Amino acid sequence: MVRIEKVVVGSIAEECGILAGEMLVSINGHEINDVLDYRFYLAEENIEVCVSSNSESVVYSIEKDMYEDLGLDFETPLMDKKLRCENKCIFCFIDQLPKGLRESLYFKDDDSRLSFLHGNYITLTNMSDKDIDRIIEMHISPVNVSVHTTNPELRCMMMHNKRAGDTLSYLQRLADNGIELCAQIVLCRGVNDGRELEKSLHDLARLYPSLSSVAVVPSGLTAYREGLYPLKAFDKDSSIQVINTVEGINAEYCESFGKNLFFCSDEFYLMAEKELPSDEYYEEYSQLENGVGMLRSFETEMEMFLKNLSDEEKQISRNISIATGESAFDFIKNAVSKVKGVCKGLSCNVYKVENDFFGHTITVAGLITGVDLIKQLKGKPLGNELLISRNMLRSEGDLFLCNSSVEDVENNLGVKLTPVEQDGASFVEALLGIGG
């Protein structure tokens, strides 16, 4: 059972007389322990809700719409504590953070409920047979899984967890019961690439049609790896090898499956200095959150948006700037040139910001910090506005990873800072100062 923190005014729960501070015990006889229990058993038109207070229980019979909420709020969105990751992966980014950042950045979660609610990736090592049974019973789908390798011994080594190999069997159980699986492989050079990557992709292909897609992404290596497993960053040649492996195996299965299953993240193509695949290659762009097809989707949306600009919008005059990471710099610069080709009054400087904070092996825009923006852009012509990627900031939109605030950067650079969503339409709107 879970404690009710608040009852929403005007809700079904308030009409019944349920009070904050009482304990939600069960719905239709099923014990409620977390948000999955609550949401699953709530999805009925006729329910019996058992609530207790001071050791006395009251059962309310309620008629409602099938997915209508009762109006109860709990201490946390999960109605329970987040499960902490039990692994110590050789590539874990959190283990590579410098000291002194905000406490929440050091928390490692590995919670299947967050996979269902927010699309987080889980390793399955925190789960038991009972947890898998619940996913199957509730038909929680899709489940996003960090696989990394299908070699049990190698998976145990990479995760420093003796259960990591055994829990691979959960993939087949979920697939056999019609649960959609979305997988990722964080690739470590010289560890799970090459022949190991080939084996993993072939093994995962056997889970089709339950397997919807697999993203292959490079491990991110900061300058703070003292005492950690010695990993090497991918370079141009090794990135080309990864792309050739993934695209080759993809082609092997594409004809029989009628779709692409395996995708490299954009970062591999940028490091390999290879052209991104076509818009059609990425199918429904199911792995955008893993940086797969993001740049191609961005470019397609941008070009479509430019075609639909009004004559008045094409005449807008603006003097602004953009800050981005090393990996996307050329792409963003070319994108700005395309917009300037249509909007002649646009003046925009694009600045490449090196990652002094985490180390120069980190080249993505999302990990640029406020201190690096201030240090490297101070005194440069920034125009009336500086655009940055929205994912440089935490979800509240106020702080960078270094704990600098948006206001800190604005005050030090003397310019308005505008976070921009990572899609082509938002990009053009921000360049021209139109839209929301």
Return the domain boundaries, the chain. 2-74, 94-292, 299-432
pLDDT tier at 170, thresholds 50, 70, 90: very high
Reduced to 3 states (helix: H, G, I; strand: E, B; else coil), residue 62 is strand
**Does the pLDDT value for residue 104 go beyond 90?**
no
Cα–Cα distance for residue pair 196/213, rounded to 1 Å: 18
Q: What does the angle CA 115 – CA 121 – CA 125 come to, to the nearest 5 degrees? A: 95
**Does the pLDDT value for residue 30 go beyond 80?**
yes
Q: By the 8 A CB rule, do 373 and 381 touch?
A: no
Q: Where are the beta strands (DSSP E) in 265-360?
A: 318-324, 346-352
Cis peptide before 419 (omega within 30 of 0): no
CATH class of 2-74: mainly beta
- What pLDDT, in 10s, does the model give residues 195-215? 999 999 999 999 999 999 999
Please count the residues of the chain.
Answer: 436
Reduced to 3 states (helix: H, G, I; strand: E, B; else coil), residue 314 is helix
pLDDT, residue 406, reads 96
Cα–Cα distance for residue pair 419/392, rounded to 1 Å: 8
Q: By the 8 A CB rule, do 390 and 399 touch?
A: no
pLDDT, residue 117, reads 66
Cα–Cα distance for residue pair 41/152, rounded to 1 Å: 36
Own/partner long-range contacts of 404-408 (Cβ < 8 Å, ≥24 apart): 404/369, 404/370, 404/371, 404/374, 405/370, 406/370, 408/370, 408/374
pTM of the model: 0.87
Question: How does the average pLDDT of the chain come out, rounded?
Answer: 93
Of 115-129, 156-170, 203-217, 407-421, the least confident: 115-129
Cα–Cα distance for residue pair 263/35, rounded to 1 Å: 32
Rounded to an integer, the average pLDDT of 307-331 is: 96
**Does the pLDDT value for residue 109 go beyond 80?**
no
- What pLDDT, in 10s, does the model give residues 335-385? 999 999 999 999 999 999 999 999 999 999 999 999 999 999 999 999 999
**Does the pLDDT value for residue 115 go beyond 80?**
no
Half-sphere exposure of 192 (CA within 13 A, CB side): 27
**Does the pLDDT value for residue 138 go beyond 90?**
no
- What pLDDT, in 10s, does the model give residues 32-52? 888 888 888 998 899 999 999
pLDDT, residue 112, reads 64
pLDDT, residue 280, reads 94
Beta bridge pairs of residue 62:
47
**Does the pLDDT value for residue 116 go beyond 70?**
no
Q: By the 8 A CB rule, do 343 and 281 touch?
A: no
Cα–Cα distance for residue pair 219/121, rounded to 1 Å: 15
pLDDT tier at 126, thresholds 50, 70, 90: confident
pLDDT, residue 33, reads 87
Topology adopted by domain 299-432: Rossmann fold (3.40.50)
Tokens 């009070």 locate to 19
- Written as one letter, the residue type at 180 is E
Q: Is the dihedral of CA 178, 182, 186, 190 positive or negative?
A: positive
- What pLDDT, in 10s, does the model give residues 387-404? 999 999 998 889 999 999
**Does the pLDDT value for residue 118 go beyond 70?**
no
Give every CB contact of residue 190 below 8 A, 6+ residues apart in sequence.
231, 232
Rounded to an integer, the average pLDDT of 88-111 is: 88
**Does the pLDDT value for residue 114 go beyond 80?**
no
Topology adopted by domain 94-292: pyruvate-formate lyase- activating enzyme (3.80.30)
Give every CB contact of residue 263 below 8 A, 6+ residues apart in sequence.
213, 214, 215, 216, 246, 250, 282, 287, 292, 293
Rounded to an integer, the average pLDDT of 313-335 is: 96
Cα–Cα distance for residue pair 21/1, rounded to 1 Å: 12
Give every CB contact of residue 145 below 8 A, 6+ residues apart in sequence.
121, 122, 123, 124, 171, 181, 182, 183, 184
pLDDT, residue 214, reads 97
Rounded to an integer, the average pLDDT of 66-88 is: 83
**Does the pLDDT value for residue 83 go beyond 80?**
no
